[in-house]
Amino acid sequence: MEAIIITIGDELLIGHTVDTNAAFIASALNSIGISVKRKYIISDKKDEISTHVKQALSEVSIVLTTGGLGPTNDDITKKVLCELFNTELVLSEEALMQVKQFLEIRNLPLNKNNLGQAYIPQACTLLTNKYGTAPGMLFKKSESILISMPGVPHEMISLMTDEVLPAIKSLFSLDRIIHKVITVGGIAEAVLAEKLSDWENKLPEYIHLAYLPSPGVIKLRLSVYNSNDNHIHEVEHQANKLYKIIPDNIISMEGLSLTEVLGKILNQKTLTIGTAESCTGGAIASEITSIAGSSDYFKGSVVAYHNSIKENILNVSKSDLETYGAVSKQVAESMAKGIAELLKTDISIAVTGIAGPGGGTSEKPVGTVWIAISIKGKVLSQKYKFGNRRDTNIRRTVNAGILFLINEMKRMK
């Protein structure tokens, strides 16, 4: 069973907006055994929408569109779908009730624009949008279905979860897809590929391997389409063989992120953590607290951008700052010690570096970062040299800090 996703909106073609919807939809479809054959990102033009919806319906059983359903005049998807499915817009009492409810709660007026949201193609089934005024719509055409959703991410996510997936499950009998994701760190992609080449060449033909790299972390994915119970065992067997080749680089055999693995370790050992951050500006704390339930182990953080804060709040010695500079082993270690003492945590991560684009010197160029960790009073530190891009340097420092800590805590077992 295959699907095609069509994202509609000029803002995506002009580069003002990153399409995060398509990834969520693909992941949700995969989880119920539907593979995504292709994605189109097209403009708000009638011909583009019409041509690609028709093309997609001729190729696959399920077509999903997002976007072009807003209350403003540049949104024309609904009109085009009416022509395609040979139907017309009618006022839906159900949709009108939803729009009114939505506006009432938020104390917003019913005006011409959002009243228009209650006009729905007669031939479609309505899907309830709990977080906005544009409802989802489901159309049937011979053996295929088309689902149209608004492009606002949280509205689409709620529609997908509560309405679209149940509808698809009830309409089709679905294959099973297995995905086993293994998180690997501290190794370059080419080196990893060489270490794994023998194992990869011996994989059964029905297991597909993919490398999913991001700064400092690579996810390896083993997939079987149209799978049965034997395949599950074979995938686990192959994953175990993989583990034995690179045991020190395995972060998670369940595909967890660095932050999720850290949370699990801290929860298991009932330890608390805090961070002291200079160049990352709070990004490590923000990453740790992006996980629901992180308040069980995360106590807090001090972002010490200015040296006065390193000195006065984290208790870094003035002479260290003057002698070695803010980006140094000594200062990183003092920050790690200082924050653990200040917040009374078992564990801490401290980072100090030059994210760029300014601030580099010949001795300490942009991308130089010192990371220190403190585990129950034991302080360790490491120097890193990243690149020239500010955003990538911050992202890599966040991942390197968490990875450093995870590896040391695993060693302590």
**Burial call 186-214: b when 16+ CB within 10 Å, e when fewer:** bbeeeebeeebeeeeeebeeebeeeeeee
Interface residues for its own copies in 135-164 (CB under 8 A)?
Answer: 152-154, 157
* 180: contact with its own copies by CB under 8 A: no
Site for its own copies in 16-45 (CB under 8 A): 16-20, 22-30, 35-43
In the set 95, 224, 246, 284, which binds its own copies (CB under 8 A)? Answer: 284
Is residue 375 a contact residue for its own copies (CB under 8 A)? no
Enumerate the β-bridge partners of residue 181.
221
Give the up-direction half-sphere exposure of residue 323: CA atoms within 13 A in the CB hemisphere. 8
Of 179, 214, 219, the closest CA to residue 36 belongs to 179
Distance CA 413, CA 410 (A): 6
Kindly state the smallest distance separating residue 142's Cβ from its own copies, in Å: 24
294 binds its own copies (CB under 8 A): yes
Nearer to its own copies, 172 or 199 (CB): 199
Question: How far, in Å, CA of 270 to CA of 249, rounded?
Answer: 25
Count of residues of this chain found to bind its own copies when the rule CB under 8 A is applied: 109
Does residue 50 touch its own copies according to CB under 8 A?
no
Alpha-carbon span 351 to 336, nearest angstrom: 8
> What is the maximum alpha-carbon separation in the chain?
78
* Binding status of residue 46 toward its own copies by CB under 8 A: no
Of the pair 11, 408, the CB lying nearest its own copies is at 11
Phi, psi of 127 (to 5 degrees): -115, 130
| Consecutive H or E run containing 369 | strand 368-375
Of 251-280, binders to its own copies (CB under 8 A) are 275, 277, 280
When the beta carbons of 193 and 412 are compared against its own copies, the nearer one is 193
Q: Shortest distance, CB of residue 198 to its own copies, whole angstroms?
A: 12
Least separation in angstroms between residue 86's CB and its own copies is 26
Provide the minimum distance between the beta carbon of 171 and its own copies in the complex, in angstroms, as a whole number: 21
CA triple 282-284-288, angle to 5 deg = 120
**Residue placing its CB nearer to its own copies in the complex, 163 or 277:** 277
Spatial contact of 327 and 369, defined as CB atoms under 8 Å apart = yes
Annotate 212-254 with DSSP letters as a single string.
Answer: EEETTEEEEEEEESS--HHHHHHHHHHHHHHHHHSGGGEEETT
CA dihedral 194, 199, 201, 206 (to 10 degrees): -130
Smallest separation, CB 182 to its own copies (Å): 12
Q: What's the rounded Cα separation, in Å, for the pair 276 and 340?
A: 9
Q: How far is the CB of 50 from its own copies (least distance, A)?
A: 14
Q: How far is the CB of 412 from its own copies (least distance, A)?
A: 24
Residue choice 66, 98, 129, 133 for contact with its own copies (CB under 8 A): 133
SS3 38: strand
Among 141, 176, 329, 390, contact with its own copies (rule: CB under 8 A): 390
Binding test (CB under 8 A) with its own copies, winner from 357, 376, 383, 412: 357
What the block records as the tokens of 125 is 């089934």
Buried b (16+ CB within 10 A) or exposed e, 342-372: bbebbbbbbbbbbbbeeebeeebebbbbbbb
Interface with its own copies includes 71 (CB under 8 A)? yes
**74 belongs to the binding site for its own copies (CB under 8 A):** yes
Q: Which stretch binds its own copies (CB under 8 A): 89-97, 259-267, 370-378, 391-399?
A: 391-399
By CB under 8 A, the residues from 205 to 234 that bind its own copies are: 208-214, 219, 221, 223
Minimum Å distance from CB 156 to its own copies?
Answer: 12
47 sits near its own copies (criterion: CB under 8 A): no
- Residue numbers 230-249 binding its own copies by CB under 8 A: none
Q: Assess 343 for contact with its own copies (CB under 8 A).
A: yes
Q: Which segment (90-98, 261-269, 297-305, 369-377) binds its own copies by CB under 8 A? A: 297-305
Instruction: Rule CB under 8 A: say whether 76 interacts with its own copies.
Output: no
Return the residue of 253, 256, 342, 380 that touches its own copies, per CB under 8 A.
342
d(CA 203, CA 205): 6
Q: Does 122 bind its own copies (CB under 8 A)?
A: no
